[in-house]
Amino acid sequence: MGENYQFLIHKAKALTTSELVWFTSPVSSSLIPIRNALVSVSDKSGLEPLCRKLHDWGVHIYSTGGTAKSIQSMGIPIFSVEELTQTPEMLGGRVKTLNPAIFGGILARRDHSEDLNEVKAHNLTLFDLVVVNFYPFHEHLGKSLDEQTPFIDIGGPALIRAASKNHRWVTVLSDPSDYPTFLSSAAQDKAVELSFRQEMAKKSFLRVSQYDWGIFTEWEKSAFPQKIDLNSQTSLRYGENPHQRAAWSGIHEWQLLQGKELSYNNLLDSEAASQLISDFSEGALAIIKHGNPCGVAWGIESSADLFMRALEADPKSAFGGIVATNRAIDQKAASSISEVFLEVIISPRFEPEALEILGKKKNLRLIQWPEPHFHRHEVRAAMGGWLIQERDHFEKRPEFRLVTSGPTLSENDLQEMEGAWKVCKHVRSNAIVLVKNKQTLGIGAGQVSRIDSLEIALEKSQGKWEGAILASDAFFPFRDSIDRLKGLGIKAVLQPGGSQRDQEVIEACRELEIPLYFTAERHFRH
């Protein structure tokens, strides 16, 4: 056929009737015009501007179920896929697009006369654009299999794979973050270049594989990755230092709202900060520097109060740090944050007033991450190979066992202790954390001697340790750290236990009348 081949165009007379028109169009396979689009998404981020632009371009939008209702509520006309399949949704919506009328329109090769003859014989509509993403299985991690199973997507991965396979003719968008790039690249001719279609297909195959792997690892708790995909998606300016090359590989589930390009170190610290606050169901905010928290506050809803309390813990170290919170950044919080030099702010949401304030700091990176979740496994290079381990999860509070005499702490104090233990998990070993009133007072991190970490934590606390709870990520090997607490008014000490000298440490706490609790669980972090 050369550059002349038949296109099938669905020409709507009304939402309920249509006719098929065949004609010949001299369009190169490198540049494909967008005429018919299939849109079926669970994540509806960015859907309205995408569909409005498609409608402006005269694209016929076919959609299903909740997506169709959402687009119609925007005042944008759509066609239901049932018009093509002549089959209603069935099995509670489990079967909608799994139909030859849909997959034939995606997989047909426009330069194969045999394919086009079948398209004509079966009265199929050819799709040039497929916009699909997955049911949010990741939002249901830790639940029972019966609760998780409804959120395993079948049609979505199948549609994405089909469109990706036929990327010579079809554009696939499987992530809302790709919508703006698509609209920009297609704006001039309302058509898409082959290079863009190939890039979207590559990224989509990666997303499908990660989605399936996520389900497998959730169901097979002991599963370790058999293959690490290090295909670079985004090149970074450099690694930890300017002479080191670096790249980030993955799928953007977060959005960079403003600021400079994220660096290698920014990404590491952003991960550390986000993981820390994700351990708290109540309001929490952490300030991270070089992989360690320098201030953490929790237990209140106001992001402004959380920030000021976290900053109070160590304002000097917070300079140039990374802030993550599980609460929205409002105008008051933004005003406080803008007074401090910081590299990155991470929040599930930034209020418009906050964006206006923080927008004046052009280099400050703002990351909006509504529902953070993290890889189950951590991978590091070691001895010419790879170390792989499960991430250190905090699923529930361990049993805090009192090993000294005297009354147990109140439930409020135990909750305070739980917060200290959560923070301790995210501090480089050897780790010592002092907390009071749901706020860190001092953190000692990364020392080769535990008593050195204690000294740093005490120094950071600036004499405010009266009534504080002290947590250690691993056992005290000697009683010297406990002896150092004499006369400080420490309310309680928490540590895993397990040392050959546990009895000496217990005896030291008894002498100082400091309640000592064991967790039987440690949190080394190297």
Instruction: Convert the pLDDT of each residue in 318-358 to its tens digit.
Output: 999 999 999 999 999 999 999 999 999 999 999 999 999 99
Give 64: exposed, middle or buried? Use CB within 10 Å, 0-12, 13-18, 19+: buried
What is the separation of C-alpha 392 from the centre of its chain, rounded to a whole number of angstroms?
17
Which comes out higher in pLDDT, residue 96 or 320?
A: 320
Residue 291 scores a pLDDT above 90: yes
Give 467: exposed, middle or buried? Use CB within 10 Å, 0-12, 13-18, 19+: middle
Instruction: Convert the pLDDT of each residue in 127-158 to its tens digit.
Output: 888 898 887 777 676 667 777 777 777 778 88
Fold matches, 252-368 and 392-518: yes
CA distance 53 to 477: 66
CA distance 183 to 48: 12
CA distance 72 to 89: 18
What is the separation of C-alpha 388 from the centre of its chain, rounded to a whole number of angstroms?
20
CA distance 477 to 481: 9
CA distance 450 to 294: 18
Q: Which fold has domain 4-219?
A: Rossmann fold (3.40.50)
Locate the domains of the chain by residue range: 4-219, 252-368, 392-518
Lowest mean pLDDT among 160-174, 322-336, 430-444, 453-467: 160-174
Nearest to 212 by CA among 158, 171, 248: 158
Active site residues: 165, 290
Q: Which fold has domain 392-518?
A: Cytidine Deaminase; domain 2 (3.40.140)
Count of residues making up the chain: 526
Instruction: Convert the pLDDT of each residue in 395-418 to its tens digit.
Output: 777 889 999 987 789 999 999 999
Residue 76 scores a pLDDT above 50: yes
Buried b (16+ CB within 10 A) or exposed e, 435-460: bbebbbbbbbbbbeebbebbbbbbeb
Nearest to 214 by CA among 375, 71, 75: 375
Nearest to 378 by CA among 244, 251, 228: 228
The one-character DSSP state at 220 is S
Cβ distance 24 to 5 under 8 Å? yes
Amino acid at 369: W
Q: Which fold has domain 252-368?
A: Cytidine Deaminase; domain 2 (3.40.140)
Instruction: Convert the pLDDT of each residue in 160-184 to its tens digit.
Output: 888 888 888 888 898 888 888 888 8
Q: Which two tokens stand for residue 487?
A: 């006369």
Alpha helix positions (H), 220-314: 264-278, 303-313
